[in-house]
């Protein structure tokens, strides 16, 4: 694989929006599915508190990584979200893109990052543990998964940059 990592820019808005729609169709459980328009993607990009990174291979968008910087007294921290195209999951793309984004965010003054991951999302759990994130706690019984017939916890991770 010949992966390229970079910050997102305006020319990426449409393809990122289409990627978020693909995630929505697959019923992915990631906050990107809450984006309902190209304008919302544009607003994300224009918000100085959002750090947005993409991974491409031969011009095809493969993954999106976002860090949302805290405001005011919390501006030393960021909350993370990441999604990889379904057909390319399991190839360590999430790990590589996260490393790329964390390095840039650290250079921009972010000192700690946090992520919430469902306790049954083994791929994401393993990725964060490989990246030496620490478990900070959990949100017990965060929601009920009707398809699986049980409650799902959110595992809270953090990493000092």
pLDDT band at 147 (very low <50, low <70, confident <90, very high): confident
Q: What is the pLDDT of residues 75-84, one digit of tens each?
A: 999 999 999 9
Displacement of CA 58 from its chain's centroid (Å): 21
Displacement of CA 39 from its chain's centroid (Å): 19
**For 98-155, what is the HEC assignment?**
HHHHHHHHHHCCCCEEEEEEECCCHHHHHHHHHCCCEEEEEEEEEEEECCCCEEEEEE
Q: What is the average pLDDT across 127-131?
A: 96
> Strand, coil or helix: what is 40?
helix
Whether the CB-CB separation of 65 and 32 falls below 8 Å is answered with no
Instruction: Please tell me the CATH superfamily of domain 3-160, with its number.
Output: Gcn5-related N-acetyltransferase (GNAT) (3.40.630.30)
pLDDT band at 145 (very low <50, low <70, confident <90, very high): confident
Cα dihedral 4→67→84→122 (10° resolution): 130
């Amino acid at each position: 694989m010949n992966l390229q990592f970079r910050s997102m820019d305006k020319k990426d808005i449409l393809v990122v929006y289409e990627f978020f729609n693909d995630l929505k169709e697959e019923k992915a459980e990631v906050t990107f599915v809450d984006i309902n328009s190209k304008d919302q993607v544009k607003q994300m990009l224009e918000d100085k508190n959002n750090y947005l990174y993409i991974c491409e291979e031969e011009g095809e968008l493969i993954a999106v990584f976002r860090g949302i910087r805290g405001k005011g007294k919390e501006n030393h921290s960021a909350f993370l979200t990441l999604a990889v195209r379904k057909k390319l999951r399991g190839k360590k793309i999430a790990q590589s893109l996260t490393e790329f984004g964390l390095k840039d965010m650290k250079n921009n003054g972010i000192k700690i990052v946090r992520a919430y991951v469902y306790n049954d999302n083994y791929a994401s759990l393993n990725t964060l543990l490989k990246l030496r994130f620490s478990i900070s706690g959990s949100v017990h019984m965060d929601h009920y998964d009707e398809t699986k017939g049980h409650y799902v916890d959110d595992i809270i991770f953090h990493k000092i940059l």
